[in-house]
């Protein structure tokens, strides 16, 4: 009897139970996107997910019944946003309701980072590292052969949402790799640790982990992601901070409710630049002339093209010159059930003028360092924002400085760091780089861009909301931590604190060439923390640093050579990577091979949801790849590889040989027509071509060749009919 496919199993489960896709995802402990992909045969579940699906179907057939869990746990450990707060919390109190149980000093203490970092080590990292190395003196067991894992792990967990970073690998996916390659425990290293997701997964698995990272800000974020503090003590410390800033909060963000006349809190203020027409040079407030309203808030638009209010000629927003900026709208919620928006009153404008005097700033508790030239830094400089403090309105800078000062009064280092973790999670949301959206919210993008119309969010409201997100993480993930972590601030090109052959597994997500300028994007955090990245050995392609693709390849080769040195023979380095450039792929492949590793297999890591760049750029690649690289026992060991062949022949062979459906993206969370998923196809083709030693080409070149092949194939089918 033929085996029932995953697609058939999922359809049968839904037919027998009447479950929706969302309910089925909740039952299986995965995301809606994953279930959609599996049922349409776009991707395969992992082995453990296949077992789970089969068990659910078996239970249904045995009439054992099913129960959808209130708490959705992805990979058994990471609570999903589908969980209800009441179900998650169990016995834990709500944020801000506990009585104070922490020591709050009368005046600020040492800078947060100085209290956590000594030399290259965070906390007691040096002694912790020695203990780890002693504990793992004997090599851990690991499989001889690489395994395709088919990991699909989304971003929709409380842990992933707790704090922003430019790239994060969902930790529930990393956990599956760690458990497979270290089935009986072991010592894990991430040499490009970023926000510390490898550390989160390792601590859940009960493994010891070393998180090495060049950026002090990333180290701080990784340290807090992998540290467990009491949710009650965390709530209490946030409550004390908010109590300390209550008066200044009222003075900065109060307005008079237009409906009932009472004093109420401003939730946000919309600011717009004044601009000059490209034709007649007349000046006008952009906000007043570029809006278009639809039937629903999702249909409201800021127009890219519109007529000049003076000469009536069509003008393009991106071509307009800017002059000054002014507030045009405030939002609040008072006596109405709904949020109310109004133009600013004379009192509102007078309040902003008073704030702009600087009287509310906490002296010495905000950064004033200059913004250097850089790939991502020149856009704000072009608009006259030359120092970090200028990236904020004076009101939000005042609020941030008062919060930062209050956080430094917390005596306990872990709780002070946890409160500072909430502070750094605000990132771009409370700056002039927060683009206004009619439907609310604000994303943190991996670039610095000052929009024509920006949203000045209430810093204190945003801080409280983000504290709630971090509390979710503390209650659902961090409480289950086992194992130990060491966070070390150093370049991956020099892991001199580790002896040869001492690491059991490396899992890492290295810099993606020129995709993200990490040191530039981290300058906002590092300005507040007072410690900056030494970019000398940053593996990147960046014209401001004078680094080209050869420099990137050389630095990656140095880093991977260090990884090779410290990894035990026969053990594995799992390298997560994606880029749309064939040159970058060739550079990475060369660095891997020159350092001594052998690429045994390649595997797609499906993060399920596209990034902001995926929606706005046609030249952004999609699913990440996982390169399963082994350190051979014999340094001279190599593998026979096919000769490099023409890429167009490779693409034709690849498309003709696929045994699954052409991937179509169904946009489940945004209003957008279904599209052929070229990005996933590119990821699949990279796996196919690199394992056969074929030529690597860019995403755009691949897409053009694939479109020609599919069009020719379609014509053949039509002619045969």
**Lowest-confidence range among 92-96, 551-555, 637-641, 642-646?**
92-96
User: How far is the C-alpha of 564 from the C-alpha of 663, rounded, in Å?
Assistant: 36
For 19: left if phi > 0, alpha if psi spans -120 to 50, otherwise beta; the answer is beta
Average pLDDT estimate for 17-32: 81
**Lowest-confidence range among 424-433, 439-448, 491-500, 648-657?**
439-448
Measured CA distances, 624 to 199, 334, 683 (Å): 19, 46, 7
- The predicted pLDDT at position 425 comes to 97
Please answer whether residues 244 and 365 qualify as being in contact, where contact means their C-beta atoms are separated by less than 8 angstroms.
Answer: no
- The predicted pLDDT at position 721 comes to 55
pLDDT band at 616 (very low <50, low <70, confident <90, very high): very low
- Higher pLDDT: 286 or 54? It is 286
DSSP β-bridge partners for residue 285: 274
- The predicted pLDDT at position 643 comes to 55
- The predicted pLDDT at position 141 comes to 98
pLDDT greater than 60 at residue 188:
yes
Q: What is the mean pLDDT of the chain?
A: 88
- 540-587 residue pLDDT tens: 999 999 999 999 999 999 999 999 999 999 999 999 998 888 899 999
**Lowest-confidence range among 136-150, 257-271, 602-616?**
602-616
* One-letter-per-residue 3-state SS of 571-594: EEEEEEECCCCHHHHHHHHHHHHH
Handedness of CA 373, 376, 377, 383 (dihedral sign): positive
pLDDT greater than 60 at residue 297:
yes
- 333-366 residue pLDDT tens: 999 988 999 999 999 999 999 999 999 999 999 9
- The predicted pLDDT at position 1 comes to 44
Domains of the chain, first to last: 6-68 (1.10.260.40), 112-226+481-638 (3.40.50.150), 232-474 (no CATH), 645-721 (no CATH)
CA-based nearest residue to 438, from 453, 458, 423, 418: 453
Instruction: Determine whether 178 is exposed, middle or buried from the number of CB atoms within 10 Å of its CB (0-12, 13-18, 19+).
Output: buried
pLDDT band at 24 (very low <50, low <70, confident <90, very high): confident
pLDDT greater than 90 at residue 25:
no
Contacts of 556 (CB under 8 A, 6+ apart): 510, 539, 587, 588, 591
pLDDT band at 641 (very low <50, low <70, confident <90, very high): low
Measured CA distances, 593 to 105, 350, 556, 635 (Å): 55, 64, 11, 12
- The predicted pLDDT at position 52 comes to 85
Measured CA distances, 49 to 31, 56, 432, 446, 659 (Å): 12, 11, 44, 32, 21
pLDDT band at 64 (very low <50, low <70, confident <90, very high): confident
Please answer whether residues 13 and 60 qualify as being in contact, where contact means their C-beta atoms are separated by less than 8 angstroms.
Answer: yes
Average pLDDT estimate for 122-128: 94
**Lowest-confidence range among 38-52, 233-247, 519-533?**
38-52
- The predicted pLDDT at position 673 comes to 57
Place of tokens 């009222």: 250
User: How far is the C-alpha of 341 from the C-alpha of 535, rounded, in Å?
Assistant: 45
Instruction: Determine whether 436 is exposed, middle or buried from the number of CB atoms within 10 Å of its CB (0-12, 13-18, 19+).
Output: buried
Phi, psi at residue 328, to the nearest 5°? -125, -15
Helix axes 231-244, 413-425, angle to 10 degrees: 70
- The predicted pLDDT at position 70 comes to 67
- The predicted pLDDT at position 679 comes to 82
Q: Around Cβ 274, how many Cβ atoms within 10 Å? A: 18
Structure-token pair, residue 184: 């009986």
- The predicted pLDDT at position 427 comes to 96
pLDDT greater than 50 at residue 92:
no
- 442-496 residue pLDDT tens: 666 778 999 999 999 999 999 999 999 999 999 889 999 999 999 999 999 999 9
- Higher pLDDT: 503 or 633? It is 503
Beta-strand runs (E) in 254-339: 254-256, 263-276, 283-285, 291-292, 301-302, 305-307, 314-316, 321-332
Average pLDDT estimate for 615-630: 68
- The predicted pLDDT at position 143 comes to 97
**Lowest-confidence range among 374-378, 403-407, 703-707?**
703-707
- The predicted pLDDT at position 443 comes to 63
User: How far is the C-alpha of 148 from the C-alpha of 574, rounded, in Å?
Assistant: 12
- The predicted pLDDT at position 441 comes to 66
- The predicted pLDDT at position 618 comes to 42
Percentage above 90 pLDDT, the chain: 63
Average pLDDT estimate for 620-641: 76
- The predicted pLDDT at position 620 comes to 44
């Amino acid at each position: 009897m033929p085996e029932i496919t995953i697609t058939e199993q999922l359809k049968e489960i839904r037919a027998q139970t009447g479950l929706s896709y969302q309910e089925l995802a909740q039952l299986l402990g995965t995301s809606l996107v994953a279930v959609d992909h599996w049922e349409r045969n776009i991707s395969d579940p992992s082995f453990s997910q296949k077992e789970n699906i089969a068990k659910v179907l078996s239970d249904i057939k045995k009439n054992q019944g099913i129960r959808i869990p209130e708490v959705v746990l992805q990979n058994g450990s990471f609570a999903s946003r589908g969980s209800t707060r009441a179900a998650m919390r169990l016995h834990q109190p709500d944020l801000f309701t506990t009585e104070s149980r922490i020591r709050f000093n009368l005046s600020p203490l040492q800078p947060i980072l100085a209290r956590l970092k000594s030399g290259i080590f965070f906390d007691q990292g040096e002694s912790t590292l020695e203990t780890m190395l002693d504990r793992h003196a004997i090599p851990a067991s690991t499989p001889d052969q690489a395994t395709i894992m088919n990991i699909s792990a989304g971003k929709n967990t409380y842990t992933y949402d707790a704090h922003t970073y430019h790239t994060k690998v969902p930790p529930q996916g990393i956990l599956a790799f760690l458990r497979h390659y270290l089935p009986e425990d072991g010592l894990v290293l991430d040499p490009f640790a970023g926000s510390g997701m490898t550390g989160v997964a390792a601590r859940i698995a009960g493994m010891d982990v070393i998180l090495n990272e060049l950026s002090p800000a990333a180290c701080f974020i990784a340290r807090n992601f992998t540290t467990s503090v009491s949710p009650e003590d965390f709530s209490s410390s946030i409550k004390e901070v908010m109590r300390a800033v209550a008066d200044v909060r009222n003075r900065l963000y109060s307005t008079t409710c237009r409906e009932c006349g009472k004093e109420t809190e401003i939730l946000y203020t919309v600011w717009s630049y004044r601009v000059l027409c490209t034709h007649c040079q007349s000046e006008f407030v952009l906000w007043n002339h570029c809006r278009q309203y639809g039937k629903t808030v999702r249909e409201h638009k800021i127009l890219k093209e519109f007529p000049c209010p003076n000469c009536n000629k069509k003008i393009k927003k991106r071509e307009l010159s800017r002059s000054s900026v002014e507030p045009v709208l405030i939002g609040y919620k008072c006596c109405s059930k709904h949020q109310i928006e109004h133009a600013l009153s004379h009192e509102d404008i007078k309040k902003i003028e008073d704030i702009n005097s600087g009287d509310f700033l906490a002296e010495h508790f905000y950064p004033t360092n200059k913004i250097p030239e850089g790939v991502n830094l020149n856009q704000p400089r072009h608009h006259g924002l030359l120092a970090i403090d200028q990236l904020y309105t004076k009101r939000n800078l005042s609020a941030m400085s008062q919060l930062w000062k209050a956080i430094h009064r917390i005596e306990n280092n872990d709780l002070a760091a946890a409160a500072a973790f909430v502070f750094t999670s605000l990132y771009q949301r409370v700056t002039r780089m927060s683009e206004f959206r009619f439907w609310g919210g604000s994303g943190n993008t991996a670039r610095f861009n000052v929009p024509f119309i920006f949203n000045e969010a209430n810093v204190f409201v945003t801080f409280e909301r983000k504290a709630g997100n971090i509390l979710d993480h503390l209650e659902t993930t961090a409480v289950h931590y086992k194992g130990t972590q060491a966070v070390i601030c150093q370049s991956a090109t020099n892991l001199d604190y580790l002896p040869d052959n001492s690491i059991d597994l490396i899992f890492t997500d290295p810099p993606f060439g020129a995709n993200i300028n990490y040191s530039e994007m981290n300058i906002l955090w590092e300005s507040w923390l007072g410690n900056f990245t030494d970019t000398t050995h940053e593996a990147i392609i960046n014209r401001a640093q004078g680094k080209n693709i050869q420099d990137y390849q050389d630095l990656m080769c140095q880093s991977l050579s260090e990884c090779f040195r410290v990894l035990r023979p026969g053990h594995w380095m799992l390298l997560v990577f994606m880029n749309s450039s064939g040159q970058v792929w060739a550079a990475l492949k060369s660095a891997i091979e020159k350092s001594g590793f052998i690429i045994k297999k390649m595997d797609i890591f499906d993060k399920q949801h596209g990034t902001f760049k995926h929606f706005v750029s046609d030249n952004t690649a999609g699913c990440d790849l996982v390169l399963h690289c082994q350190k051979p026992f014999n340094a001279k060991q190599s593998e026979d590889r096919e000769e490099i062949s023409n890429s167009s022949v490779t693409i034709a062979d690849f498309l003709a040989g696929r045994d699954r459906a052409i991937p179509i993206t169904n946009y489940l969370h945004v209003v957008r027509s279904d599209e052929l998923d070229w990005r996933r196809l590119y990821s699949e083709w990279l796996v196919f071509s690199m394992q056969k030693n074929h030529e690597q080409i860019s995403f755009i070149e691949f897409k053009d060749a694939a479109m020609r092949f599919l069009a020719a194939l379609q014509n053949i089918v039509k002619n045969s009919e």
